[in-house]
Each structure stands twice: as structure tokens, then as C-alpha cells.
């Protein structure tokens, strides 16, 4: 994996006549977990859609693995998990994965490997529409893992999940990063930043900070990422 997996330069996104991502410039290191942390509605999802190449009205430059976002060559190298489960509710978990595996040309055995990774093999013959919300999230994550992509873009993967499942997913994310995958994980829960190697702190479409948790807390003189976020917001409002 290259030292830099994702590069953003002056990225802007407009939706509904307003700018929801405002001149974001940063890079995401390969083989690490980078957290995109910020309150709901701050532009995280729009930025992630721009990164995977499915967002309209994007300006600036977005490169993944040396290719422009959305390039055909990235189809099997980038996994994307949306906030809402992107599944066919009338198919079983296994049928969903087999379908998506054919779409991306995943190797033989990829479906079983992905289901095992999210502990859903025992429910592979269950219809998705009858699974719980947490189970559907795990099946969606399994689709993103098909073929072991180099980059995983995960939009609020742990929202609404119970603490045990959240812990298990973060353990999975860490294992994937240790094996060389690059993960960009969004969350509006500030405490989840502690699981990340680096965080991009976002508010109102702009990046407030780009640092490790420790550096951010030290620079802000705060005891937690949430306190650091509040202090950075206060400083900006005072400066304005």
C-alpha cells in the first residue's frame, strides 16, 4: 500500500443550492484507520460520496490509489458502506453477497470469507428484510469487504449498534488495518475517535483539525476529543 491512499485538494460539494463541503484539503495514509468525526449534518457523508465517486456537483481533486475518484480501475479496490443498508430486502444475506461478488468479480470463496469476518455465516440463508438493524449493518459491511479491497470507506458503520457489536466491529477494523487495508470511518460519536490512528474533525463543511487524538487534545488543552472539538469551535466563533 502506498504511503498516501487518498488525496483531497480544495474539494467542495454543493447540494440544494448550498455548499456542504467547503475547500477540504487533506490526505489519508495507507494501512491506517482515519476517523472522519463531526456532528450530524456537517458534510461527512457528502465528502465520503465524493471520495468514492458517486457524489454530484463536486469540484476540486479527489484521488484514490493514484487514480481519480470513480475510475473503473477502482471498482474492486474500494469498498463503500453507506449509512442505510444497501441490500435487497427480499433476498437472503448469502444471495445478496453472491450477487455483489459477481458484480465486482470477487474471487471464489470471497462470500464465505466476508460473512465470517462479520460473524454472519450462520444467518446467511435468512432473508435480509427479517434481520435486525444490526444484522443488516453487518451484511452491508460484508458486501464492502468482498474481495478484500485496498480502501474501505465506511459511513457511520456503528450507529445504533449495541456496545458489544460496536466493540467487535472496531476490533475487525483494527485487524483489517494491521493487514494493510486503509479505512476511512465516519462517526458523529466523538468517543469513537479513540479507535483511530488519526482523525479529521469536521464542522459545517470544513475541517477543524487533522491530527492524532493525543495531538489534538494537547493542542486544545482538552481532556477528550469532545472537549477539544468544543474548544476549537469556541475559538473559531471568537475569532469571527
Q: At what angle do helices 163-178 and 133-145 cross, to 10 degrees?
A: 10
Asked if residue 115 has pLDDT above 90, the reply is: yes
The CATH superfamily label for domain 4-77+151-239 reads P-loop containing nucleotide triphosphate hydrolases (3.40.50.300)
Confidence bin at 37 (pLDDT 50/70/90): very high
Asked if residue 35 has pLDDT above 80, the reply is: yes
Confidence bin at 159 (pLDDT 50/70/90): confident
Q: Where are the alpha helices (DSSP H) in 118-212?
A: 133-145, 163-178
Q: Which residues contact 178 (CB under 8 A, 6 or more apart)?
A: none
**Percent composition of the chain: helix, strand, coil (DSSP 3-state, to 5):** 40, 30, 30
Q: Where in the chain is the domain with CATH 3.40.50.300?
A: 4-77+151-239
Q: What is the mean pLDDT of residues 178-193?
A: 93
Q: Sort 160 into a burial class: Cβ within 10 Å, 0-12 / 13-18 / 19+.
A: exposed
Asked if residue 239 has pLDDT above 60, the reply is: no
Q: What is the mean pLDDT of residues 139-148?
A: 93
pLDDT at 94: 97
Q: From residue 94, give the alpha-carbon distance in Å to each of 118, 122, 137.
A: 13, 10, 14
Q: What angle (nearest 5°) sits at the alpha carbon of residue 155, between those of residues 192 and 188?
A: 40
Report the C-alpha gap between 38 and 44 in whole angstroms. Answer: 7
Q: What is the mean pLDDT of residues 11-29?
A: 96
Amino acid at each position: 500500500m502506498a504511503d498516501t491512499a487518498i488525496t483531497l485538494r480544495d474539494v467542495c460539494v454543493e447540494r440544494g443550492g448550498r455548499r456542504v463541503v467547503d475547500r477540504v484539503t487533506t490526505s489519508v495514509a495507507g494501512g491506517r484507520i482515519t476517523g472522519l468525526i463531526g456532528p450530524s449534518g456537517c458534510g461527512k457523508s457528502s465528502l465520503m460520496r465524493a471520495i468514492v465517486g458517486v457524489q454530484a456537483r463536486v469540484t476540486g481533486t479527489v484521488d484514490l490509489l493514484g487514480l481519480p475518484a470513480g475510475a473503473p480501475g477502482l471498482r474492486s479496490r474500494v469498498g463503500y458502506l453507506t449509512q442505510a443498508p444497501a441490500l435487497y430486502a427480499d433476498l437472503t444475506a448469502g444471495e445478496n453477497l453472491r450477487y455483489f461478488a459477481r458484480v465486482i468479480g470477487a474471487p471464489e470463496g470471497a462470500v464465505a470469507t466476508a460473512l465470517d469476518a462479520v460473524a454472519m455465516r450462520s444467518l446467511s440463508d435468512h432473508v435480509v428484510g427479517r434481520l435486525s438493524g444490526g444484522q443488516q449493518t453487518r451484511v452491508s459491511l460484508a458486501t464492502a469487504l468482498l474481495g478484500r479491497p485496498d480502501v474501505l470507506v465506511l459511513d457511520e458503520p456503528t450507529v445504533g449498534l449495541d456496545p458489544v457489536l460496536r466493540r467487535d466491529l472496531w476490533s475487525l477494523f483494527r485487524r483489517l488495518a494491521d493487514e494493510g487495508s486503509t479505512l476511512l470511518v465516519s462517526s458523529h460519536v466523538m468517543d469513537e475517535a479513540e479507535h483511530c490512528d488519526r482523525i479529521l474533525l469536521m464542522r459545517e463543511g470544513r475541517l477543524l483539525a487533522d491530527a492524532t487524538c493525543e495531538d489534538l487534545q494537547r493542542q486544545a488543552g482538552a481532556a477528550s476529543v469532545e472537549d477539544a472539538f468544543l474548544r476549537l469551535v469556541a475559538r473559531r466563533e471568537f475569532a469571527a
